[in-house]
Structure 1
Amino acid sequence: MQRMREKSWEGWGHGLLGVVIFSGSLPATRAAVSGFAPLFLTASRAVIAAGLGAALLALLRQRRPARDDLGPLAVVALGVVVGFPLLTALALRHITSARSIVFIGLLPLATAGFGLLRADDRPKPAFWLFSGAGSLLVAGFALAQGSGGDLVGDGLMLGAILLCGLGYAEGARLSRRLGGWQVISWALLLAAPAMAVLALATLPETWRGIGLPAWAGLGYVSVFSMLVGFVFWYRGLALGGIAGVGQLQLLQPFLGLALAGLLLHEPVEGGMIAVAAGVVLCVVAAKRFA
């Protein structure tokens, strides 16, 4: 029992580190699309991360995944290597970074739902109550802002959330057998050939005029959002449970909104602090019943 509790807390610690890293993803993507087309950004970040992942796999002499793992790895690649980065980059052409971040509040429910379907997670009924309450708080906060909305951008973000939740749940299931960083590295390598072709096909006509913020955004999403964050996130989900640790994503919108206001000078409502406090309480309660 003690060992299980230690694993649970270790999982939540790794998950929190992953969320902190991911919280910079959408502001960084917003900065990157100021200089790069969404398709090139999606492909190039995957290629860069795949190169780093391949180096790690070779350096640490990791065995190749079994044939039965290729299908699930393809689902991970579809969700978090291609789907989420592409749809969010497209969405950020229509909506602000601050608005896109609040959609992340729906990600814990999506992750928990796919965890129920794909990984056989069975949280207690009270868990769904607190998880739903946290998501409603975040969604209500988004609606209360009432600015920066766009039907196309919002629809793209909803699609991105569904694909990301699927990729998170599938990757966490695989991580229990293959290891967290190995899963994202193999998924990146699986997608690398197609992403390399897409990157070459969408190269910018000129590199002139691409500012430092765009380059910095590309660097962040390639190294941290696409690889380093998953090292902690998948290990956290595997150790602490997909549904439970997934609730930490409710904190991501508020970390991201703070970054959007600080780095991109986008307007952030003062009510964010009160809503964030309520979300923290929901996360704590959800952990108890996960």
Structure 2
Amino acid sequence: MPPSTVSKGWINGFIGVLIFSGSLPATRLAVIDLNPYFVTVARASIAGLIALAVLLIGKQKKPNTTDLGKLALTAFGVVLGFPLFSALALQYITSANSIVFLGLLPLATASFGVWRHGEKPKPAFWLFSAVGATLVVGFAVLQGFSTSALGNGLMLLAIITCGLGYAEGASLAKTLGGWQVISWCLVISLPIMLPLTFYFLPNTATHISLAAWGGLLYVSVFSMFVGFIFWYKGMAQGGIASISQLQLLQPFFGLGIAAGVLHEHVSTLMIIITLGVIACVAGSKKFA
């Protein structure tokens, strides 16, 4: 890629990370009063209806049949897998604890990029990625597993499925375009997600706070749609492995949101771990 295109990729990727940083705190707000299954399918349905309208207004051509398999894998990772597993996890752990797990996401995304799409980062890249992942796992062992092994296990599943969805979507974005990829993923998911939304719809809304509805709205519009427009475009421009390392910055922004909006306790250890993984992004970026 030309240097100017790669630079644009880093800018688009950074904007995507900023938007995604509010996802787990917003999900935490939502699942306090709402069923996590409802949150999962409702966010996909709301975003799917927006995507359908955008595709129709833009008169976009349907994707080729050869792309349907990749779209299905992408949808499994980012429309179903990460939203569902993270929503379930946030019933057992705080958003601050879950955010630290995001330090594993760059390694997962890069690994799927190598396995599925033949990218070849330098050995030093894997060293920095592995150090960042080790810091995250070490934190989980020292802090998280003592409170909820189930919550941490669900977050690990969320990270793995999200990494798959990111890598597949980034590959498709090179030919389909960033916003088209997430739009088609959401649209092909609608026949399943929309009926399930009505199935899991709360019987009454009297006990549901405005904060919970606000959290659902954020993850539906920004986390599920707008953020992916920048994220997939960024990875298509700058490379899956390289741009994926920007996700190491996400815990830093996410912890700030968790502390400022949810008033959750952010320990000194959380800050140290987060600074450690941020340092790793600088090293991995150089050798990607």
> Under TM normalisation by the shorter chain, which class is it?
over 0.9
Q: Say which of 99, 116, 120 aligns to 1:122.
A: 120
Give, in angstroms, the shift of residue 61 of structure 1.
Answer: 1.5
**Counterpart in the other structure of 1:132:** 130
Tell me if the contact between 1:101 and 1:256 (Cα under 8 Å) persists in the aligned partners: yes
The amino acid across from 2:33 in the alignment is G
In 2, the alpha carbon distance for the partners of 1:207 and 1:145 equals 35
Q: Secondary structure at the match of 2:45?
A: helix
In 2, the alpha carbon distance for the partners of 1:222 and 1:169 equals 21
The amino acid across from 2:61 in the alignment is R
**Counterpart in the other structure of 1:111:** 109
Tell me if the contact between 1:135 and 1:250 (Cα under 8 Å) persists in the aligned partners: no
Structure 2 unaligned segments of length 5 or more: list them.
none
Q: Deviations over 1:188-236 (max 9, x none)?
A: 0000110011111111010112101101100000000000000010011
Q: Say which of 40, 43, 63 aligns to 1:42.
A: 40
Q: Say which of 278, 282, 285 aligns to 2:283.
A: 285
In 2, the alpha carbon distance for the partners of 1:171 and 1:150 equals 32
Give, in angstroms, the shift of residue 59 of structure 1.
Answer: 1.4
The amino acid across from 2:240 in the alignment is I
Tell me if the contact between 1:110 and 1:162 (Cα under 8 Å) persists in the aligned partners: yes
Q: How many residues align?
A: 288
Q: Secondary structure at the match of 2:268?
A: coil
* 1:1-290 pair list within 5 angstroms: 4-145=2-143, 149-290=147-288
Q: Secondary structure at the match of 1:34?
A: helix
- Answer with 3-12 or 160-169: which moved more: 3-12
- Answer with 157-166 or 264-273: which moved more: 264-273
- Answer with 277-286 or 143-152: which moved more: 143-152
In 2, the alpha carbon distance for the partners of 1:203 and 1:99 equals 28
Tell me if the contact between 2:104 and 2:132 (Cα under 8 Å) persists in the aligned partners: no
Give, in angstroms, the shift of residue 278 of structure 1.
Answer: 3.3
Tell me if the contact between 1:105 and 1:139 (Cα under 8 Å) persists in the aligned partners: no
TM-score of the superposed pair, with normalisation by structure 2: 0.96
Structure 1 residues 107 and 49: CA distance shift in structure 2, 3 A: same
TM-score of the superposed pair, with normalisation by structure 1: 0.95
Structure 1 residues 256 and 147: CA distance shift in structure 2, 3 A: farther
Q: Secondary structure at the match of 2:164?
A: helix
The amino acid across from 1:246 in the alignment is S
Q: Deviations over 1:38-72 (max 9, x none)?
A: 11111111010011111111111111101111111
Tell me if the contact between 2:140 and 2:152 (Cα under 8 Å) persists in the aligned partners: no
Q: Secondary structure at the match of 1:210?
A: coil
The amino acid across from 1:117 in the alignment is W
Q: Secondary structure at the match of 1:254?
A: helix
Tell me if the contact between 1:111 and 1:169 (Cα under 8 Å) persists in the aligned partners: yes
Give, in angstroms, the shift of residue 251 of structure 1.
Answer: 1.1
Give, in angstroms, the shift of residue 74 of structure 1.
Answer: 0.6
Q: Deviations over 1:223-278 (max 9, x none)?
A: 00000000010011111111111011111112111111111111001344444443
Structure 1 residues 274 and 152: CA distance shift in structure 2, 3 A: closer
Q: Deviations over 1:127-154 (max 9, x none)?
A: 1011112222333344454587311111
